[in-house]
Amino acid sequence: MDPRRDPERLSLASYPLSHPVQARFSDLDGNGHLNNVALASFYEDARITLDWRIFTDGKPVPFENFTFVAANISIHYLAEARYPATYVVGCGVGRIGTSSFVHSAGLFRD
């Protein structure tokens, strides 16, 4: 199913991790929206926080004895993100494979 159409993906309650992020003025593009690089960094912060919870008991330490490789990153934009605002990234594991797993995340305001 297209993640943009999945009602569970559109609810913050569906994600086990809630990671708050504060939009900064420097995140704005020329049109006054949060730029795509800033939004990607919000997701990256949440992904790393989730990985630390799963693999290092929540400690922000370098990963040892294994390596993560981001094979694919896909962001579906559903609406404009504005400044000023505090956002929450909901994040969880969407699928577990034999040698990989998929992070699933959504950005929420209010």
- Would the pLDDT of 66 be above 70? no
pLDDT of residue 52: 85
- 51 versus 5: the higher-pLDDT residue is 51
- 81 versus 54: the higher-pLDDT residue is 81
pLDDT of residue 1: 64
The fold of 7-108 is Thiol Ester Dehydrase; Chain A (3.10.129)
- 71 versus 66: the higher-pLDDT residue is 71
pLDDT of residue 109: 93
| Amino acid code (one letter) for 61 | V
